Structure 1
């Protein structure tokens, strides 16, 4: 949906993208990158004694993975406009495969195009929702085409 121009996007449009397997390496690299070494993510013994019974992926890793799953055409996407209502509703485990489901819920006109609001759902291989958010992207209008009579 972010590969289309603003005037081509309709409220209710929906699509599912991706298929990214969350690996132990992803979790360890994300911990190193962010400095978030909470033992639920990086310590197998600690995590085994937790309510989850094993290591879980960082919520922000799960959310960050969504950004690479859906198409964002540089001709149409002008800017990331914001995100609200982020919730991590189920844990994501090592070897879970995630997809992102986007549904257009609103559009707001702006001078250069408009803001497309989507309901974002991250789902695992069992089609369980593991994270949700409301995302907004500033999207360009279709270029004006001038026809020359001839």
Structure 2
């Protein structure tokens, strides 16, 4: 097992990625959501992204997702999409008057940065994923507009069945001060490799 870097470039418009492509190796840059090009490195502990099945995964494998800078425009976009109307999530004056240093980011928006689809995991399970069957989260510390979040997923449980298996990812999110703000778990149902078929890893 060896560590590699997956380099991804994309363009953001109104806080949303609209184009993704591989790019040559580049230095780590600040991730922003203000309509500019951004680049970052996704570290993963296997250099290959071939299709994998339940029995190809190992306990302890980690998937480091891209950092997300929660700008005010991004927080406002989530509020509009979700229909959230509480001033705690959009009114800075109300927040200051009620003891908060700024606009509080909704917990579901914090949770959203842990989506496994933002990591190499989604490419690995393209042929084997049957579904996300359960998700749970604990919100440890408040997150405010302007914070930058750093999500990580790690395989902590592998439960085989006859032809499928349950893979559990532990999710953690830290802010720019390295404080844990969220922890949780995601349970995925994956197909097992067909033992009667040639190994996809062998050419």
Question: Into which bin does the TM-score normalised by the smaller protein fall?
Answer: 0.7 to 0.9
SS of structure 2 residue aligned to 1:48:
helix
Distance 1:123 1:78 in 2: 29
Structure 1 position 103 matched with structure 2 position 154 = yes
- Deviation, 1:110, is 3.2
Considering only aligned residues, what root-mean-square deviation do their CA atoms show, in Å? 2.3
CA contact (8 A) 1:16 1:100 kept: yes
Distance 2:142 2:114 in 1: 15
Match of 1:78 in 2: 130
CA contact (8 A) 2:114 2:153 kept: no
Q: Which runs of 5+ in 1 are unaligned?
A: none
What TM-score comes out, normalization by structure 1 length?
Answer: 0.84
Structure 1 position 51 matched with structure 2 position 99 = yes
Runs of 4+ in 1 over 6 A off after TM superposition: none
Structure with larger RCO (C-alpha < 8 A, sep 6+): 1
Structure 1 position 62 matched with structure 2 position 125 = no
Instruction: Give the length in aligned residue pairs.
Output: 146
- Deviation, 1:125, is 2.0
Structure 1 position 115 matched with structure 2 position 163 = no
Distance 2:162 2:72 in 1: 44
